[in-house]
Structure 1
Amino acid sequence: MKKNIFIFLAVIVASACASREKPGREEQQVAEEKPVKQVSVSDLLGKEWSLQELNGAPIVLDPNFPKKPVLVFEKDDNLSGNLGCNGFGGVYKIKEDGTIAISNILSTQMACANLEVEKAFTEVLQGAKTFEVENGLLTLKDDNQKVTAKLTAQ
């Protein structure tokens, strides 16, 4: 009886080990070809980041006030810019794990067209958790890793 139980367990263990697939050569190459780039504050500084896309859609400017929203990161953990009409300022912090936190955004309160773009941009900035900078493109992502904004360096 003990011999049968041992054989039964051995068959289960062997089949469990055999079902684990090792990544193929192609999968290993893909993983090796794209190294993770560590992004730092210096990648953000010294540039005016012009908003191109917001929540997956291109920015549509009001023809009467065609000023594109911009974002500027400053050395002292402050940020500033323009939401499209209203100027704004706030605070950012890049943490050791590479995540970003943007908070305390205050803006002027002029009555402008496209206030929905300004509101959405503010919400995206405050909801940003991670970012990438590659080839002059800043991509902000939320806590679900969904791309929420794309900005280009000017």
Structure 2
Amino acid sequence: MNKIIGIMFAFFMVSCAVQNPFETKAVQGKWEIVSLNGEKINNTQPVYLDFGENNMLSGNTGCNQVTGKYTVTLDKVITFSQLGSTRMACEPKQMALETQVLEMLDKVNNFNITGDKISLSIGLNAPIAELRRMSDNEIVNKYWKLTELDGKKVTMSENQEKEQYFILKSDNTITGFAGCNTFNGKYTLKEGMRISFDENMAMTMKACQDVDFNESEFLQVFLKADNYTIHDDKLSLNIGKRAPLAKFEAVYF
């Protein structure tokens, strides 16, 4: 009897280590990490994990690209292995975020999927990371640099902190930089390449007297635009069928 019980226990342990094809299929795709250790992530580029076929993992950890492997077994167990990343130096804030992401991948062993969200945790503890499935729309999750406003080319002022840009995130929020101040709000995508932005955008209130750029004119683009066109990483925000309100190009870091 003891021998039979031992064989059954051994079989159970082996079966638990067998990959679960149904759960593996469920996690496949791109997932943006929206919160980590209980804090919402605020990064210029989306921080994400791409669960590919053949258990291949790739993604962005806040600064560098990461590659490796993942394994999904029974009872929603997930493990990451053979992790490696590029060696690009970034801002201290981004490097700190990257360290947290890599530590999270080394620790977590459990996951749960609810709709378009996935949580990663250690055992039955509270989730360490919350992820949201990324949109496959090519306008979303890209850094769009402003190149033309009202038909005129845009150039940076000598003392301007950075270029004007915006990013549409998977959770239907927009973040961006208007030349002096940062802004954020919400957006909605509809069929037929239609788009609308929330009128109540939030914006910092810094004074940059030497920056020769009309932030208000730039923000008006988002209040007026009702459709967009996109081709070869070139984007136009438009109103009706008129000339573009503004043009942008995608930037990859």
The two structures have a TM-score, normalised by structure 1, of 0.68
Q: How far did 1:98 drift?
A: 2.8
Specify every segment of 5 or more residues in structure 1 that has no aligned partner in the other structure, as ranges.
Answer: 1-39
- 1:129 matched to 2:226: yes
Does 1 or 2 have the higher relative contact order (CA < 8 Å, sep 6+)?
A: 1
- 1:107 matched to 2:203: yes
CA RMSD, 1 decimal: 1.9
Partner of 1:152, secondary structure, is strand
**Identity score, percent:** 29
Higher share in strand: 2
- Mapped contact 1:130–1:145 kept (Cα < 8 A): no
Specify every segment of 5 or more residues in structure 2 that has no aligned partner in the other structure, as ranges.
Answer: 1-134
* Higher CA-based Rg: 1
Change (3 A) 1:131 1:87: same
Q: Distance in 2 between matches of 1:115 and 1:86?
A: 13
- Mapped contact 1:127–1:143 kept (Cα < 8 A): no
Of 227, 230, 237 in structure 2, the residue corresponding to residue 140 of structure 1 is 237
Q: How far did 1:115 drift?
A: 6.7
- Mapped contact 2:179–2:213 kept (Cα < 8 A): no
Paired position in structure 2 for 1:19: none
- The one-letter amino acid of 2:242's match is Q
- 1:63 matched to 2:158: yes
The runs of 4+ residues in structure 1 deviating greater than 4 Å are none
- 1:93 matched to 2:194: no
Q: How many residues align?
A: 115
Change (3 A) 1:124 1:41: farther
- Mapped contact 2:157–2:212 kept (Cα < 8 A): no
Partner of 1:88, secondary structure, is strand
Q: Distance in 1 between matches of 2:152 and 2:143?
A: 20
- 1:80 matched to 2:175: yes
Which range is displaced more, 143-152 or 114-123?
114-123
Q: How far did 1:144 drift?
A: 4.6
Q: How far did 1:45 drift?
A: 1.8
Higher share in helix: 1
